[in-house]
Structure 1
């Protein structure tokens, strides 16, 4: 399993999931990617994809089946990688981000692509703020202290540069028209209260990809960083179970029905009704 962390971050975001999968008998690889990961000179998104392809090919040379998991923009990168390497066994998309449209995103987010072509490009950085992708208040306080002491924490960087955000937007624009070409088995896990990328991101991918084996799981006690937040064990268990099922499900017709509790179903209906009222 190739694990792709979020934008300008590190494999620490996926540490719990990687350990769980390892204990379940899976081989995991959570690499640092040239031009994408924290501490690397910034590169264009094509270099991100080339680095991910190289990591995938290294695993594919050793194992008969290789699956891809991504978190946040890492999920978008996972989709791009699946287009380059359609033989991937399965995709696991965690907090998929095709748009920064969550409830905590600043009103000026839509201006950032424009700002990239101004002198702000070299100086302005988006600064992370509470809730830092975390519903868990104790962990949120810990991360807040860590970000005061340094530029980095276990759930990502304290700031993200304008060029990195611009390249993420370019990656999204490259991936979206190709969603209908994705045919890999796919697990989507998303929090309904994701403050960074709203549930619309997950719904769009689920509607447009062309796979016969799709499972969508909605979480109701997490925010964006679902590999670290309150339901990280749910994420890990469901990922391991899906990977096993994918290996066995080489043929057959599978439902696209989301896995969702009655309480979540009511919440989603309320969100849908509210969206229609605002339209």
Structure 2
């Protein structure tokens, strides 16, 4: 299994989990969850999206289709070494996980959607970020290539000590550690197109979904999670609402709750799949 730059694999059993980071993020934001799932016996693969963990120009040279191609290729690689494959994503990574489930039901046994972001509509977001749907037009016209939405306090993290460490990493200039300090307009434009695409595909998803969202998410409001619960109709959707976290639920105060719920979700589906196969034999 080939590994790119900051990707990593934790070898485990025959149930695999691929974890997907968010826009301008890195696989590191999934590391805590990855280790927790690995301790439960799963093989875990944290994929790096195309254009990420480098410079802003690296990111702007890619589109949402490139990011999705990273996910689909990663899932195909992981599937070769496991019997059951689950996919989990944070923020924009959740959109990519949902798209994979819609596009490739042959690969995906279940989806964990963490702090899904169809829109930047959380309570800390500047009002103009809610007009992100206009950015694809800007990109098509060549407007705003070097403009960014800078990250705003509290940076998706409720835990103050953790927030200080993450912000220091973001401002260090090493994007492979904690990602870029801002969201380039053209990258947000691509995410907006991805969001619209996934919205239309939610009704095609046949894999069970675990939707994890903070009620006080500062970046993406609870409406983003509710959209999944409302539109995924061909598979069961389980919702976990967190009361003591902000957007970065994979590293914030309730990360252990997120890990334990994900383990329970995966084990239940694997058990049900095994029983169904046994009954059919």
- 130-139 or 152-161, which deviates more: 152-161
**Aligned-residue CA RMSD (Å):** 1.8
1:92 aligned onto 2:112: yes
Deviation of the 1:148 alpha carbon: 3.4
TM-score by length of 1: 0.84
1:276 alignment partner in structure 2: none
Task: Tell me: CA distance 1:24–1:191, structure 2 relative to 1, closer, same or farther (3 Å).
Answer: same
Counterpart in the other structure of 2:20:
4
Please tell me whether the aligned partners of residues 158 and 245 of structure 2 are also in contact (alpha carbons under 8 angstroms): yes
Q: Which residue does 1:138 correspond to in 2?
A: 161
Q: Distance in 2 between matches of 1:117 and 1:105?
A: 24
Counterpart check, 1:225 vs 2:271: no
Q: Is the 8 A contact 2:18 2:88 kept in 1?
A: yes
Correspondence for 1:70: 89
SS of match in other structure, 2:229: helix
User: Across the two proteins, how many residue pairs are aligned to each other?
Assistant: 251
Alignment partner of 1:187 out of 202, 210, 234: 210
1:234-268 alpha-carbon deviations (Å, 9 max, x no partner): 0011111110001112379xxxxxxxxxxxxxxxx
Structure 2, unaligned runs of 5 or more: 1-16, 277-281
Are 2:39 and 1:20 aligned? no
For normalisation by structure 2, the TM-score amounts to 0.84
**Tell me, which stretches of 5 or more residues in structure 1 are unaligned?**
253-279
CA deviations over 1:202-222 (Å, ceiling 9, x no partner): 011011102443210000000
| 1:150-181: CA deviation from partner (whole Å, max 9, x where unpaired) | 25485542112112111100101111011111
